[in-house]
């Protein structure tokens, strides 16, 4: 009995510690820390919570390809990152539109001007630090611009004959004018780098191995797959494949976002309290154990939201609240099975084991179907729909684990504390039990 009490208390302390870290964070060293949701930079708020500007662009061409639209998104992303708008989100809408959300930007005209100019890609022989912005460079001697690059594709294979090892590289296709410029420069710069810059930022600096006198060339290096794709996309984005038309520009009030956030948090707290009371009244000791597991679930979700910098929106908060209901739903299915076993006269220990075993497949199946829906919303949704899918996915996975493993572990410890009366496990009356055999729990 004493061992069960110690284990039960230890888990409660762990849950309390996780809840504290989820709220206030934890600073271990100057370089290692875990922010909490109450920290200033703990949660990245979406446009509907923080306020800001929405701009929707439409491609000025018929039937743009996916590659062209992805190039537009990449160019706009690079432009925004270079201007410091790292919290901005870009999503494609339909076949020919791109939606840009700029949280905390209330001046729509400034936002339009930021995205209005085309990002300039330059292959440079020499660069110097920008005296007005130490994070940027100024091109002193240019080799060519992005207009001389026809295409840039990330590929995997061997770049030279006799090589035994394959790797990721970027294959460039140049215009005739670009070939002439590149041939002259690479002939002079063998063994030296050529800087590839975009809006004053160096995105790559490959070293010239030999003179390149053709319309095609490759950039090699120890690239990871995503790094190669990103570099190829940035090079392609040096010149927009077509012009963009602004079809929507609107500003969302920050005051509206504050009110919406406050109402959402209030609704979440009220809903959580009602769920905790319902579980306690209906299932007693089982409900109490489920409540502890539910608080642990909330703590873990807080930690994930704060440390993964997930863009939180109002639908995202709805996804979290919905997953709380799913966690309780799993416990309800399990506890009802336990009650059925108790009514058949089984001991508490046997009833708990049988209840979890009988309910496990139903719980997993129902959660997997919800996870599939969440993944579809996450991958194919746009804007706030994507935020809903992300938080729903996180919430369902964490809630399923807490409802099955944490609840079962805590429930086992209550059995070890000699709590045997079926009433404590939700069976209403002694006469509801058909034949209690009175074996040891």
Lowest mean pLDDT among 25-39, 67-81, 345-359: 67-81
Res 440: pLDDT:
47
Token pair in block for residue 354? 């049988």
Q: What are the tens digits of pLDDT across the range 297-348?
A: 999 998 998 888 777 778 888 888 888 777 788 888 889 898 888 888 888 8
Question: pLDDT tens digits for 144-188?
Answer: 887 788 888 888 887 766 566 788 888 888 989 989 999 999 999
State mean pLDDT over 223-249: 74
Helix (H) / strand (E) element for 161: namely none
Please give the pLDDT value at position 113.
64
At residue 435, the pLDDT reads 46
**Which two tokens mark 243?**
């012009």
Q: Indicate whether 436 pLDDT > 60.
A: no
The residue ranking higher by pLDDT, 277 or 115, is 277
Q: β-strand 311-312 against 44-45: which pairing, if any?
A: parallel
Per-residue pLDDT for 192 more than 70? yes
Q: Can you list the domains of the chain with their CATH numbers? A: 2-42+253-432 (1.20.1640.10), 52-119+244-252 (3.30.70.3400), 121-236 (3.30.1360.200)
Give mean pLDDT, residues 406-416. 89
User: pLDDT class for 441, splitting at 50, 70, 90?
Assistant: very low
Q: Which helix (H) or strand (E) holds 223?
A: strand 216-223
Question: Measuring CA to CA, which residue among 59, 380, 66 is closest to residue 236?
Answer: 66
Question: Residue 255, Cβ neighbours under 10 Å: how many?
Answer: 9
Rounded Cα distance, 369 and 351, in Å: 28
Full DSSP string of 323-392: HHHHHHHHHHHHHHHHHHHHHTT--HHHHHHHHHHHHHHHHHHHHHHHHHHHHHHHHH--THHHHHHHHH
CB 28 within 8 A of CB 240: no
Residue 136 pLDDT greater than 90, yes or no:
no
What's the average model confidence in pLDDT over 252-276? Answer: 79
Q: Is the pLDDT confidence value at 237 over 70? A: no
Predicted local distance difference test score (pLDDT) of residue 401: 87
Quickly list H helices, 150-284.
176-188, 225-236, 254-283
* CA–CA gap between residue 441 and residue 420 (Å, rounded): 7
The answer to whether the predicted template modeling score (pTM) of the entire model surpasses 0.85 is no
What 3-state DSSP class applies to 35? coil
What pLDDT score does 255 carry? 62
Share of the chain above pLDDT 90, in %: 15
């Amino acid at each position: 009995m004493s061992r069960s009490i110690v284990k039960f208390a230890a888990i409660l302390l762990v849950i309390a510690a996780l809840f504290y870290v989820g709220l206030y964070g934890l600073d271990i060293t100057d370089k290692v820390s875990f922010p909490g949701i109450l920290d200033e930079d703990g949660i990245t708020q979406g446009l509907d919570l923080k306020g800001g500007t929405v701009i929707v662009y439409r491609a000025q061409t018929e039937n743009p390809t996916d590659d062209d639209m992805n190039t537009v998104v990449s160019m706009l992303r690079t432009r925004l990152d270079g201007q410091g708008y790292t919290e901005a989100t870009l999503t494609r809408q339909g076949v020919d539109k791109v939606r840009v959300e700029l949280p905390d930007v209330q001046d729509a005209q400034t936002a339009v001007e930021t995205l209005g100019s085309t990002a300039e890609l330059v292959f440079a022989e020499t660069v110097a630090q920008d005296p007005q912005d130490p994070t940027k460079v100024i091109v002193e001697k240019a080799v060519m611009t992005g207009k001389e690059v026809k295409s840039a594709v990330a590929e995997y294979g061997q770049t030279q004959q006799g090589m035994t090892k394959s790797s990721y590289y970027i294959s460039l296709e140049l215009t005739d004018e670009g070939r002439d410029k590149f041939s002259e420069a690479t002939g002079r710069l063998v063994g030296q780098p050529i800087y590839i810059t975009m809006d004053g930022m160096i995105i790559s600096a490959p070293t010239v191995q030999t003179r390149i006198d053709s319309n095609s060339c490759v950039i090699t290096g120890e690239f990871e797959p995503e790094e190669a794709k990103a570099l190829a996309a940035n090079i392609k984005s040096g010149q927009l494949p077509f012009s963009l038309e602004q079809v929507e520009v609107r500003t969302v009030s920050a005051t509206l976002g504050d009110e919406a956030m406050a109402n959402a948090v209030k609704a979440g707290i009220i809903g959580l309290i009602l769920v905790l009371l319902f579980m306690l009244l209906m299932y007693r000791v089982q409900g109490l154990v489920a409540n502890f597991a539910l608080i642990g679930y909330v703590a873990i979700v807080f930690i994930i939201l704060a440390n993964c910098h997930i863009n939180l929106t109002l639908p995202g908060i709805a996804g979290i609240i919905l997953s709380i209901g799913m966690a309780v739903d799993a416990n309800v299915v399990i506890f009802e099975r336990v009650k059925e076993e108790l009514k058949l006269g089984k001991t508490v220990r046997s009833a708990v084991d049988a209840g979890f075993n009988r309910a496990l497949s139903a719980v997993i199946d129902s959660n997997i179907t919800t996870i599939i829906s969440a993944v579809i919303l996450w991958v194919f949704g746009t804007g706030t729909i994507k935020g809903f899918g992300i938080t729903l996915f996180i919430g369902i996975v964490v809630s399923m684990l807490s409802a099955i493993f944490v609840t079962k572990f805590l429930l086992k410890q209550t059995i070890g504390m000699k709590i045997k009366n079926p009433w404590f496990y939700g069976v209403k009356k002694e006469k509801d039990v058909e034949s209690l055999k009175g074996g040891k729990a």
